Structure 1
């Protein structure tokens, strides 16, 4: 059966515009693009898509380099990326939607919904602690060869039985298995798989029709061929790039892991960011209340750089990055959305924050009128 997206009465939220019409320096923005092009030529990355939106106007949407270097497939603006941890804000949003519906509170104990957490070590972990990465849970449900678990719930139950490495609520430590537990809670409360909840309650209402939550697509689904290959290298910025995955292979984990697993093009993810930037509203559709969005995208008590499954980048700037080279941010003060998407990032490769700085430097700061 071919893929047929559900049709929503949604108009496209973005339209193209010249940079100067929204107070962006075209010269500085072009410098950002040419810098990324140099990164490809120098081998710092294999390819990238860049998207900048200000005041709902697209001022930059370009691609450079390769989607699959070995097969000579060029990167395109509609290339689909493994968003990895950029999935986390969607999971946080799902939990907060259930909270607004009165189906949970953030201070609820996880064991209320997942019996495997009802033991001496895990009993006191709360949903809030999962969202803020303060649960004490560490480690991974993914191993070098994939995962030994058959389902998300099986993996999360083992996480609960194993328990936290640190007393819950005492320190911030970024936790993929904690995010997977968020997904299991969403599934338990909603009564449907977490990926179905995110698809029907978030992706489809926002018109994110090119996005999906695992790689189990029908053989004739045209989106499969648009997914970029993934690259890594062992020696930081000095070694050669090695392809680790491409769209002819199955995903490394046979289930939606919740901490990652979103596949999306930049323009789709920008719709989600736009909704949050507008206080949880997207056209006539409301995803969350303004108060909940403010709570989610503000730093939590124990971390100046993380909210409720959102990274925070200083005053009024939030977003998230993903392993392998993806980064998104929304800047409330400047009404700006930025995405830099690559599948070739390594530890020590700082192209993502470098690109963000280049975009920020392109914003024209208007002087106050002299009195």
Structure 2
């Protein structure tokens, strides 16, 4: 039976705990985060518990705080490891001087700060002071030089301005006015609008724009328009000394000579701009970021405090970078980036990462939030990438959400590469029809193959799928994500006297998704059933697959 969403107060209300029933629009505007168990939110606790073990045992960072929420329920908040572990670049502090992570540890969130700047810009749009398609030079005349005359506010928000990623403001210019002027004077590295290049200079410029048009410093604007209305008491720039005991340390820096950085922004350029900049500088906690995330999922409102209109949030979460495949971007938010959004990836999935080891993922389709905050640059920035850890957390939440069988009490599920699901040898000669339903959420480089064979010889059987997001025409493998829908699959295979069919899930060593679920297997020849998977599940041999109720 189809599950239908109803609407209350303009927001769709749907089944809790489901991955296979994507929700349109926003969460109800009255949704407020509260603590509950995974089970209370309709989630399977096992994938979350497995991810927590991975977090606790990760060698990629000294410590972490992770938060998972679904449909307004904070189902997990986990602190592990150390917020401060090292005295310098190599030496560990004595154990009694190390500082453990806490659920309320405050982190330098690095480039997640860009979201706060973007929200501030869009607040000015709502005030009628800025138009996103207007040239930046209309508001900052000094910016419109050296080939930047046509760059628009939207191009800064979507990183399509052509500006280079970074210049060393802190070392090559003597003071804040000179550093801001250096950004204003900088020529683009590529023609504006010709390429996607993630650039701190875009958001530094937007920070200046906010200050110029509001008449107030960026930190004041962010406090007035975002953190104070939402009650984010641990979020802001340049945290006060009384909070230092809760702040995670970042890097031991020797150039510039800063020693162990704790309580000051890690990013050298933001530091050289006084700790307040459009691209970096925000400190926050997992709980505060979750409130910001729920505000976006609610369409810009939380506990009756509106920071953006619904239409504005919708534009924030709309891909404006269709011309740059793989670099989907809203107005400030990154979209559909599997490398850290994992199994939650989809066209509307929004988020951002930070260089210090932070990430925020918002999935409107399942009304879910995944936050991972780490101190991966403690004590040095060469500790390595934590993208696998980011992806693991988001994928755990995706796998905790249910995909219900199409028929009967169970369906076959795997998230394991190399898993095979085999029929018994079937007596047939001529054309055999194979029909099944499948729910796939995979990386584009992974896929489900249908193969026919006998003994050690197997050959691929081309298939045709129908359903939302299904590939067009006949394909060799089934892969995809974001559609969140079951597909009906048909294949015709000419066979000899006896044949065995197998479904094989193939993955590479990179990213994974939620996995693959198969149901309603039916193999027929000339209207005669050779195998009915619903009535004869005991005849199917699973290797790496499991019969699941969800």
Q: Normalized against structure 1, the TM-score is what?
A: 0.86
Match in the other structure for 1:352: 390
Q: 1:21 to 1:367 in 2, by over 3 A?
A: farther
Instruction: Determine which of 295, 299, 305 is the counterpart of 1:285.
Output: 305
Instruction: Determine which of 108, 112, 117 is the counterpart of 1:91.
Output: 117
Q: 1:80 to 1:116 in 2, by over 3 A?
A: same
Asked if 1:53 corresponds to 2:53, the answer is no
Asked if 1:179 corresponds to 2:217, the answer is no
1:157-212 Cα shifts (integer Å, max 9, x gaps):
31221221111111110000111001000111001011110111111101001112
- What is the Cα deviation at residue 53 of structure 1? 1.0
How do 1:67-82 and structure 2 match up within 5 A? 67-69=83-85, 70=93, 71-82=97-108
Match in the other structure for 1:18: 37
Instruction: Determine which of 28, 32, 50 is the counterpart of 2:51.
Output: 32
Q: Distance in 2 between matches of 1:249 and 1:171?
A: 33
- What is the Cα deviation at residue 358 of structure 1? 2.2
How do 1:107-118 and structure 2 match up within 5 A? 107-118=133-144
1:235-289 Cα shifts (integer Å, max 9, x gaps):
xxxxxxxx97332767641421210100001100111111101111112111112
Match in the other structure for 1:158: 182
* 2:252–2:261 contact (8 Å) kept in structure 1: no
- What is the Cα deviation at residue 359 of structure 1? 2.4
SS at match of 1:204: helix
Q: Distance in 2 between matches of 1:62 and 1:365?
A: 26
Q: Distance in 2 between matches of 1:146 and 1:24?
A: 50
Instruction: Determine which of 128, 131, 140 is the counterpart of 2:157.
Output: 131
Q: 1:107 to 1:149 in 2, by over 3 A?
A: farther
1:282-327 Cα shifts (integer Å, max 9, x gaps):
1211111212111111222334432111111222211111002101
How do 1:1-371 and structure 2 match up within 5 A? 13-39=32-58, 43-69=59-85, 70=93, 71-142=97-168, 148=173, 150-151=175-176, 154-215=178-239, 217=240, 221-231=241-251, 245-247=260-262, 252=268, 253-254=271-272, 255=274, 256-301=276-321, 302-303=323-324, 304-313=327-336, 314-344=346-376, 346-349=383-386, 350-367=388-405
| Higher normalized strand content (fraction of residues) | 2
Higher relative CO (Cα under 8 Å, sequence separation at least 6) belongs to: 1
Q: Distance in 2 between matches of 1:150 and 1:128?
A: 29
Q: 1:52 to 1:248 in 2, by over 3 A?
A: closer
- What is the Cα deviation at residue 225 of structure 1? 2.0
SS at match of 2:351: strand
* 2:60–2:384 contact (8 Å) kept in structure 1: no
- What is the Cα deviation at residue 120 of structure 1? 4.2
* 1:225–1:247 contact (8 Å) kept in structure 2: no
Q: Normalized against structure 2, the TM-score is what?
A: 0.59
- What is the Cα deviation at residue 100 of structure 1? 1.1
Q: Distance in 2 between matches of 1:50 and 1:360?
A: 15
- What is the Cα deviation at residue 45 of structure 1? 1.6
* 1:156–1:177 contact (8 Å) kept in structure 2: no
* 1:15–1:57 contact (8 Å) kept in structure 2: yes
- What is the Cα deviation at residue 72 of structure 1? 0.9
| Pairs aligned (count) | 342
- Structure 1: segments with no counterpart, 5+ residues: 1-10, 234-242
Root-mean-square deviation over aligned CA pairs: 2.4
| Higher normalized helix content (fraction of residues) | 1
